[in-house]
Amino acid sequence: VIGHPKYQDSKRIAIFLSMPDEIQTEEIIKDIFKQGKECFIPRYKPQSNHMDMLKLSSAEDISSLTLTSWNILQPSDDDGAREEALAGGGLDLIFMPGLGFDKKGNRLGRGKGYYDTYLERCMKHPSGKPYTIALAFREQICESVPVAENDVQVDEILYEDS
């Protein structure tokens, strides 16, 4: 990931905070700050498909976040001081989680459509749709995953041996 040309060229990067069964992103987040890039993380709104990408001030900033009922760390709802990526310069790159992927770039998420809805919003932003990279384990690569018409394909899937 760190040596990937799209990562190297990107200044504004959104990345998920890993759940235990996902690719661990902590070292990538540390590198984002080490390289002087801007880091944004998801804040999901429960009972909806709305998600914002909010700016982290440092890797240590993660310890100030609150744990959701899904066991995901995210900025609290009353944390209005953080920049939302689309309120500013948009995003260059989004690292995406998922449960399964196929080699055509289809992604099976957790069923709420947060990333698909967010990418639709990105497409309306002046900076346009960011490049998307899914981070996966080899075991998550399938022949095909079910898709709906509003599912947005990922540009690239990174996994061991890819």
Binding residues for substrate: 17, 22
Instruction: State the pLDDT at residue 162.
Output: 54
**Quick check: 127 pLDDT over 70?**
yes
Binding residues for ATP: 107-115
Total domains in the chain come to: 1
**Across 74-87, average pLDDT:** 89
Instruction: State the pLDDT at residue 149.
Output: 86
Binding residues: 17, 22, 107-115
**CATH code for position 104:** 3.40.50.10420
Q: Of 63-72, 86-95, 139-148, where does mean pLDDT reach its minimum? A: 63-72
Angle at 141 between CA 135 and CA 143, to 5 degrees: 145
List alpha helices for 10-113, DSSP H: 26-34
Provide the residue range defining the domain that includes 62: 5-158
